[in-house]
Amino acid sequence: MSEPIQRAIDRAVRRSFPMATAAVASLAGVIAVPAPDYNQIAPAFTLIAVYCWSVWRPGLLPLPGVFLVGLFEDLLRGLPLGLTALMLLAAAGFVQSQRGFVFGRSFTLFWLVFGLLTIVWMAVEWLAMSLLLWQLLNPDAAVFRYLLTFGLLPVGAAMLLFVQRSGMQNV
């Protein structure tokens, strides 16, 4: 294989890191952790990945790709097909259009905006599920899920930053 082709493949692989990490985050959300009621409050890892890449590298996180990751998560978790896809699409679209407000600013602001986004995310998810099941659902689990997701952002962001710095410097 000639060098330019190798370089092109290497570049394409590196450019796919944001999408790949978002898909891995979807899988991480369904891993069986034997802690009491963990599955009900498992953090929204995909939201963390989509938020971080939407702020740092929006060009490498195309909206159709985000949509596919959402569909993948719906299929894996047995959720209404299209719900997470729609919500992720809205979240990524919003963050990418407003990224100037967060990009290059302090991490506290980055985290705070994520906190607000996650509140909206959890509220919309609860409302949508309540409507689809036509019953007012108990939001307790969603509150704990919110706290876990919000609390885990620094860890998730550090991991993604490591990916960005180690493998995506020149792409």
Partner 1 sequence: MARRRRGKPKGRGHPLRTGSLLAALRLWTRRFAILAMVLVAGSLIAIDRIESPVTRDIRSGVTDLFAPFIETVSAPFHAAAEWFDAFESNATVRERNAELVQEIERLRLALQEMPALQKENRRLRALVNAGRRIEGQHLTATVVSDTGGPYVRSLLVRAGSADGIRRGMAVINANGFIGRIVEIGRHASRVLLVTDLNSRLPVRLEASGLRALLTGTNGRRMQLTYVPPNVSVAVGALIVTSGHGGVLPPGIPVGRVDSVGRDTILVRPLVNWNRLTFVRIIDYRTPGLVGDAPDDHRQQEVGRRAETP
Instruction: Give me the least distance between CB of 108 and partner 1, in Å please.
Output: 28
Cα 149 versus chain centre, distance: 10
Classified as helix, coil or strand, 78 is coil
Computed over its alpha carbons, how large is the radius of gyration of the chain? Answer: 17
Report the phi/psi class of residue 70: left, alpha or beta, with left for phi > 0 and alpha for psi in -120 to 50.
alpha
- Output 18 or 65, the one with its CB closest to partner 1: 65
Residues that bind partner 1 (CB under 8 A): 27, 29-37, 39-42, 63-64, 67, 70-72, 75-83, 85-86, 89, 93, 125-126, 129, 132-133, 135, 137-138, 141-142, 145
Q: Could you tell me the smallest distance in angstroms from the CB atom of residue 128 to partner 1?
A: 9
Shortest distance in whole angstroms from residue 24 CB to partner 1: 10
Nearest distance from C-beta of residue 2 to partner 1, angstroms: 32
Close Cβ partners of 80 (under 8 Å, ≥ 6 residues apart): 74, 128, 129, 132
Of 19 and 110, nearer to partner 1 (C-beta) is: 19
